[in-house]
Amino acid sequence: MFHSQTYSANHHTPLPADLHLLSVQITAACGFPGFSAQAGILNYYRHDSSLGIHVDESELDHSRPLLSFSFGQSAIFLLGGVRREDPPTAMYMHSGDVMVMSGQSRLFYHAVPRIIPGPQGQTALAMEGCCMAFFSQDSTLGGVLSEEDWALCTRYIQSSRLNVTVRQVLGPGQRLPETPSPPQKTDASQVGGVPGQTSQWRKEEESSL
């Protein structure tokens, strides 16, 4: 979780090319051509992790969509409105799900109050028959990670959740400020609960179980 999320021209690393390409293709398919994947955040969730109510508004351009990729254990996602007091809608986010927040929803309040472990640590994709056999030597992914690395990743997501968000930071003609970037934390497991969560948000979480 970012305690103070800012962007600086002096503090950045290149976004992986394959993640950029995937994001561009998804946004184009959703009717948003010209998207530029300029920043990404990787959140790690343990079974007892949560992410508090917040709005992703640090980007300079809010007209472009925000993408969210989920891997591993399922989670309850609460999507509110433009005001903190707006009642949220609860939904599940399973492994392999992609969410595109665009238009007005780009600045909606949202939270992840709970992780929902699958039976014996299985992910939704595993229960649907997706397995390591997909990543055989015939796959184009075969040369990216070794079989040992894939096995390690598989074991990790059997008890954890990974969430990758991708966003465009700058609009046409905009530039990042050349100022130091503060320390950043993206480990959602460090958030002990949902700060400021209203009773309405708790009610929506409980009703979704």
Residues tagged in the binding site annotation for Fe cation: 54, 56, 110
Q: What is the dihedral of CA 67, 69, 70, 71, to 10 degrees?
A: -170
**Tokens 């996602």 sit on residue:** 77
Provide the CB-side half-sphere exposure for 66 (13 A, CA): 23
**Distance between CA atoms of residues 197 and 38, nearest Å:** 31
**Tokens 């390409």 sit on residue:** 21
Binding residues: 54, 56, 110
Phi, psi (deg, nearest 5) at residue 101: -100, 115
